[in-house]
Amino acid sequence: MELPYLTRNFPGIGGTIKNRPEDFFVQEIPIYEPSGEGEHIFAEIQKINLTTFDAINRIADALKISSRAIGYAGLKDARAITRQVFSIPGATEAAVMGLKFPGLSILWAARHNNKLRLGHLRANRFAIKIRDVNPTDVIKLRPVLAELQRAGMPNYFGEQRFGRRNDNDRLGAAYVRADHKALLSLLLGTPKPEVDDSQEAAARAAFDRHELEESMRLWPRRAGMERRILHRLIKTHRPSAAVWAIDEKLRRLWVSALQSRVFNEIASRRIESLGTLIDGDFAMKHENGAGFLVENAAQEQPRADAFEISPTGPLIGFRVTLPRDEPLRIEQEVFLSYDLKPEDFKRTGQLRVKGDRRPLRVQPTDVDVAAGVDEFGPHITVAFTLPAGSFATILLRELMKSDTPHGGAEGAEAKQSHE
């Protein structure tokens, strides 16, 4: 689905991002600072060309602790310079500060009394270089950025959420519907020449021909997950048994991608008035995430104009809070287009996805833009802060007016579905 731009009346500058890791910088802004005492060591790390889990595993191995004991607030790109905080139990500040690895350094360490949990994050600060552009086009970006700060940017989920083959949401839908044959067809068959290499495409084609042993022979050794699932199918002849052999984290990622796709569709249908409240909306306070039903939109609109509150869209689940009237009609129309109902998410095994609400827009802050030249050529650097859970690529696409900016953004590790 091609998402509409909020700033479609402003021209894009084109260009590319993430030509090299140094072109993309992101730093976490935590909800709270370490207290200075407790059994956990909070440490800010800087990494380059490493995934979050690569960094966690290296630290765990060096300190001889379980990688599962290390807490983190969010996932960050590998192909970038990223700064994020980990919590490490059973260590000392000196031991943590003494860690040295290629591509990873410890910036500070301090004690705290609890493990850092996913989502314990207030915002992310970005500085991103756009290359293959005319540096004088920096002038064109200033009014676009001003409009995004005034009206807010669409709180779309970035395309990286949907995976290399752009089908994580379809896998999620098949899982929610317990359509195990369709899920395995997407996971192990359905070749896409534009993204699959020749060996993978051949393995997928053999699966579609129901030549399971031949498909197993063709899948490359690096495709460990696909081979394991196919082996289970060959052994049991039961698609359901093969599906239940899939790691729960992966199934959860697919369902999350489905929620993301549905949210994007609903947000796109309200793109003309993302900050305009409608009677029946379920609104959210940006300060603390508290939500409430809008009974009188005209009365509440000044708060939306001041960016204190915004209308929300659903992350569909069996307990998701639904709006009323026109906002409910829009959401139900989209649910129907995807052949989904909130109660369907009770059938997702041990996942049982409850659902949530998400603001339709967010406000970029601390925005700056500048043209420059370095040893790799001219570029435009855009710096900004976004609330946790929002995607830098969504802001960049409003500037570039290109849906293929040659790179990902925050959360790129989570896009790995079945690579």
- 351 and 251 Cβ atoms separated by less than 8 Å: yes
Structural domains in the chain, sorted by start: 16-20+123-152+363-415 (3.30.1360), 32-119 (3.30.2350.20), 168-248 (1.10.1510.30), 270-362 (3.30.2350.20)
Q: What is the pTM of this model?
A: 0.91
pLDDT tens-digit profile of 387-402? 999 999 999 999 999 8
Which residues lie closer than 8 Å to 34 by C-beta, 6 or more apart? 42, 110, 111, 112
Distance CA 75, CA 72 (A): 8
Rounded percentage of the chain residues whose pLDDT exceeds 90:
90
- 278 and 297 Cβ atoms separated by less than 8 Å: yes
User: Which of 23, 77, 169, 344 is an active site residue?
Assistant: 77
Note the pLDDT of residue 186.
98
Note the pLDDT of residue 403.
67
Note the pLDDT of residue 266.
98
Check whether 349 has a pLDDT greater than 90.
Answer: no
pLDDT band at 352 (very low <50, low <70, confident <90, very high): confident
Nearest Cα residue to 345 out of 104, 176, 110, 130 = 176
pLDDT band at 419 (very low <50, low <70, confident <90, very high): very low
Q: What's phi and psi for 145, nearest 5 deg?
A: -65, -35
3-state secondary structure the chain: CCCCCCCCCCCCCCCEECCCHHHEEEEEEECCCCCCCCCEEEEEEEEECCCHHHHHHHHHHHHCCCHHHCEECCCCCCCCEEEEEEEEECCCHHHHHCCCECCEEEEEEEEECCCCCCCCEEEEEEEEEEECCCHHHHHHHHHHHHHHHHHCEECCCCHHHHCCCCCHHHHHHHHHCCCHHHHHHHHHCCCCCCCCCHHHHHHHHHHHCCCHHHHHHHCCCCCHHHHHHHHHHHHHCCHHHHHHCCCHHHHHHHHHHHHHHHHHHHHHHCHHHCCCCCCCCEEEECCCCCEEECCCHHHHHHHHHCCCEEEEEEECCCCCCCCCHHHHHHHHHHHHHCCCCHHHHHHCCCCCCCCEEEECEECCEEEEEEEEEECCEEEEEEEEEEECCCCHHHHHHHHHCCCCCCCCCCCHHHHCCCC
pLDDT band at 226 (very low <50, low <70, confident <90, very high): very high
Note the pLDDT of residue 275.
95
Note the pLDDT of residue 415.
33
Note the pLDDT of residue 301.
98
Distance CA 418, CA 257 (A): 13
User: Can you read off the two tokens belonging to residue 296?
Assistant: 């009188």
Q: Which residues pair with 311 in a beta bridge?
A: 283
- 398 and 155 Cβ atoms separated by less than 8 Å: no
pLDDT tens-digit profile of 96-136? 999 999 999 999 999 999 999 988 999 999 999 999 999 99
Note the pLDDT of residue 231.
97
pLDDT band at 223 (very low <50, low <70, confident <90, very high): very high
pLDDT tens-digit profile of 156-215? 999 989 999 999 999 999 999 999 999 999 999 999 999 999 999 999 999 999 999 999
pLDDT band at 228 (very low <50, low <70, confident <90, very high): very high
Q: Which residue has the tokens 């004088």?
A: 136
Look up 77 and say whether it is catalytic.
yes
Average pLDDT of the chain, as a whole number: 93
Check whether 30 has a pLDDT greater than 90.
Answer: yes
Note the pLDDT of residue 77.
85
- 367 and 145 Cβ atoms separated by less than 8 Å: yes
Length of the chain: 419
